[in-house]
Amino acid sequence: MAKYLIIYHREDNDGVVSGALFVDYLTRKLNITRSEIALLGADYNSLAEFEKKYPIDKLHEAYENIIMTDISFNDGKYMKKIYDEYGNKFIWCDHHKPIIDESFKLHFSDAVGVRNTTKSAILCAYEYLYDAFNEQYDRKSIPEIFRVLSGWDSWSYEREGYEFDYVKNINKACTVGWKLDFETVLDKVNFIMVNWDNKGEDVSKSTLTNLEKYGQQLNEYDDFVMEGIVQQNGDKTWQVSVFDEDKGRPLFIKACAIFHQGATNSTMFKSLKKTNRDIEIGLVFKHAANGNWTLSMYNVNDDYWFHCGEFLKEKYKGGGHKGAAGCTLTEAQFIKILKSKTL
């Protein structure tokens, strides 16, 4: 039996860095050996497979403690079972509104950890491990790079005191430079935290200027490429159907869909603000190796009322944020959607 299983979201800096914060704390502060820690870098599709492989009884036979950060199981009832089975040996740090809302409905909202929809998982994990009363956060006396990455991931850059392009560029530079590789990120986190604990020095701050310059170059190239993909290959005849409670009928929101196997993000559809201002939703479909399809959904306009995460959780058991979310579709679901071009 492994002493700890840490499940982290493997697809972005927020998940990998928050996971590394836990490993660094366990090994450095609690003297837990790495051999006692099992890691699962996950996305929502792989967690669905994990649920099938590990019913609660088998899960408890394999792992003594469960830590989840920046991700949750699609099935809220499975989360509830973990909570019931593990008690205070289940730690959950997250900021995704749909599953947090469901935790209140299914009565696992008081699980150990920190859930906060206004912060990233990095800051939730940091609060749980180091700053229970938010004193450091309120004084802005935590390593700045954590606040910068949080400002990007949770769209809270203004509250953190940064410009949008600044956090976007640094996040991009970290994504490319660290490659979302857990051991690389763990080395960075360890270096930051050792110096922070021992000297009170924000050693990460000295690298931010270089990261910003590097990220700016990367993003300028990506914006050029993505604008071409969206404008040339984007199908602007899609729509998203939402039931309008006030009018008692469906409301159809215009969307643009692309089929793209490469990396995507919440700003890739920004060219539509200039060319197709009536389109509010961006959709990206990718064909997975197992025959399923992954769908990423983005709000084209930052302040639009539509909540991508809540919509995908309700209709396709997905999840995410207001501005960006994802889910997995079966081949049958995908074909049905493709025929109507309507979600």
pLDDT (tens digit, 9 = 90+) per residue, 51-72?
888 888 889 889 999 999 999 9
List domains and CATH numbers for the chain. 2-215 (3.90.1640), 234-340 (3.10.310)
Mean pLDDT of 144-148: 95
pLDDT for residue 190 is more than 80: yes
pLDDT for residue 34 is more than 90: yes
pLDDT band at 288 (very low <50, low <70, confident <90, very high): confident
Residue 284: in which H helix or E strand, if any? strand 281-287
pLDDT band at 168 (very low <50, low <70, confident <90, very high): very high
Residue 40 pLDDT: 96
Q: Cα dist. 280→80, 239, 254, 272 in Å?
A: 35, 9, 6, 9
pLDDT for residue 264 is more than 80: no
DSSP 294-337: EEEEEESSTT-S--HHHHHHHHHS-EE-SSEEEEEE-HHHHHHH
Q: Cα dist. 27→31, 173, 264 in Å?
A: 5, 27, 34
Q: Cα dist. 33→27, 29, 53, 129 in Å?
A: 6, 11, 26, 18
266, two tokens: 């919440």
194, two tokens: 């050792």
Reported residue count of the chain is 343
Residues 6+ apart with CB under 8 A from 32: 3, 4, 26
Q: How far apart are CA 143 and CA 63, in angstroms?
A: 32
- pTM score, whole prediction: 0.81
